[in-house]
A and B are shown apart, each in its own frame.
Chain A
């Protein structure tokens, strides 16, 4: 179990960097506003970053074990389907997660840490 000093250090580092990323660009706004590259990255990075995060969250999944892979694939399809159908964040998140909890609890154990 990590000790509190370490957890506190993690919180402070993450908070400082997050705040800096939210605040500093206002100070250097003028050059950013005219940078075509920055605007291009702003338009294009979110979709790819989110995909990378999806991949990261399932990095330890044993895809060859159907008891683990199936709940993830089924609830992933349900989440994506709900979002494409209704564009309702709450519905997609709650629906997909509820299906995964139900399947994983009855079949096997989670994303495998």
Chain B
């Protein structure tokens, strides 16, 4: 267990004379090395997002603002299109809610209890990206303390912000005749979808997703995303209620059979 009593903000704990700095350095170095693999995945995506912003007509620095303040890659891609279409703020709010709804499940296992102090907790929850979550719940991260977790989150965010900014600044060099970079977003969701499928190997889920998308596209093309995500959530709830009833039925039958076996 790392020294969780050490804190970057002043606390009532007695200060350790020289150890904290070395300790911080070790934690920062370890965090940086651990982040490089995931951080590398941010680079092509961040560059692509930055280039799209610089080609959208918005001032380039909005890319940096999006990356630092929102810090949710997939939502940033979607928002760029919504901003350019001047969509109402209510649509922005609903989209942000549905696209990032998955984050509520991270609270079930992210080790926030090890990140002491309100400012640290505030940053740690703000920077709780998919990648930060994946790294910190990894079995290898079981003995990470406060400093290590915070450094990992900080470095991941820096990877994203720097990549996006570099793309936005360098995007000016790419001629407008080069098109098709927005496919990076399609590719990202496709890859994340494949990974999500691999985690569960549950075919009805992606099929229901496809069905909801097609229905939303045909019935409500103007509100396609919100309708398809909402519809998909309803389908899942219905399926939960249905299978729950079925399994409760099976359980009671099993219990009944077991009871008979016991009696026999």
Contact = CB atoms under 8 A, between A and B. Distances in A.
Interface of A: 1-2, 6-7, 9-15, 17-19, 21-26, 29, 32-33, 36-59, 71-72, 75-76, 79-80, 83-84, 87, 89-90, 92-94, 96-97, 100-105, 109-111
Contacts of B228: 52, 55-56
Interface in B59-102: 62, 65-66, 69-72, 74-75, 77-79, 82-84, 86, 89, 92-93, 96-102
Contact of A93 (B41, B66, B240): B41
B123 to A, nearest CB: 10
Contacts of A22: 100, 103, 106, 125-126, 128
B156 to A, nearest CB: 14
B194 to A, nearest CB: 5
A47 B202 contact: yes
A83 B62 contact: no
A33 to B, nearest CB: 6
A44 B236 contact: yes
Given A49-B209, A57-B186, A97-B183, A21 B89 contact: no
A71 B180 contact: yes
A41 B48 CA distance: 31
Given A21-B104, A44-B202, A49-B101, 12 more contacts: A2-B86, A36-B240, A36-B244, A40-B240, A41-B233, A41-B240, A44-B205, A44-B236, A46-B199, A50-B190, A52-B229, A101-B178
A18 B41 contact: no
A17 B44 CA distance: 26
A54 B131 CA distance: 20
Contacts of A55: 209-210, 213-214, 216-217, 224, 228
9 contacts: A19-B126, A22-B103, A23-B125, A44-B205, A46-B199, A51-B213, A54-B193, A75-B183, A97-B180
Given A45-B233, A47-B196, A14 B92 contact: yes
Nearest to B97: A17
A29 B111 CA distance: 12
Nearest to B180: A104
6 nearest A-B pairs in the assembled complex, by CB-CB distance = A104-B180, A51-B209, A50-B193, A55-B213, A48-B209, A25-B107
B89 to A, nearest CB: 5
B104 to A, nearest CB: 4
B232 interface: yes
A7 B194 contact: no
Interface in B207-223: 208-210, 212-214, 216-217, 221
A104 to B, nearest CB: 3
Contacts of B229: 49, 52
